[in-house]
Amino acid sequence: MLVVATGVFEILHPGHLQYLEDAKKLGDRLIVIVATDDIASRRKRRPVISEKQRLHMVRALKPVDDAILGGEGDMYDTIVKLAPDVLAIGPDQEFDEHEIRRELEVRGLKTRVVRVRRYWDAGLHSSRIIVGLMKRQ
């Protein structure tokens, strides 16, 4: 079974690793879609680490079988091309699972959409938390 996970992955942290480990457990093969710099800028902020470097780092993670850059247009285009059995959503990603499921069905996919659990160890499970702590230093 093919599992797809998505994200920006600007500052790799324990929460990212837990997300990808949990996603991998949902199937046999994990492909990660890494957001391009332009998409990350539109959704969050301009990444400091380039999309090529973020892609390279995600590919190096043990649970990841492959990683690709996402497209610039419709976020569903890359998912439809991959046609995964499961789409894993991170615990703090601001996506509505039901909306994603409906949109994938409209596009002819019967992909299971799963939100994975939160990583709580030491509270360092979010880039926002880590950046906030760094700003206070």
Inter-residue contact 66 to 2 (CB < 8 Å):
no
Query: What stretches of the chain adopt beta strand conformation (E)?
Result: 2-7, 29-34, 66-69, 86-89, 112-115
Inter-residue contact 121 to 17 (CB < 8 Å):
no
pTM of the model: 0.86
We report the CATH number of the domain holding residue 24 as: 3.40.50.620
Question: Which residues form the domain of 17?
Answer: 2-136
Inter-residue contact 95 to 79 (CB < 8 Å):
no
Per-residue pLDDT tens digits of the chain, which is 137 residues long: 999 999 999 888 888 898 999 999 999 999 999 999 888 767 666 778 899 999 999 999 999 999 999 988 888 999 999 999 999 999 888 889 999 999 999 999 999 999 998 665 656 555 555 555 556 76
Cα distances (Å, whole numbers) of residue 16 to 38, 81, 109: 21, 24, 26
User: How many structural domains compose the chain?
Assistant: 1
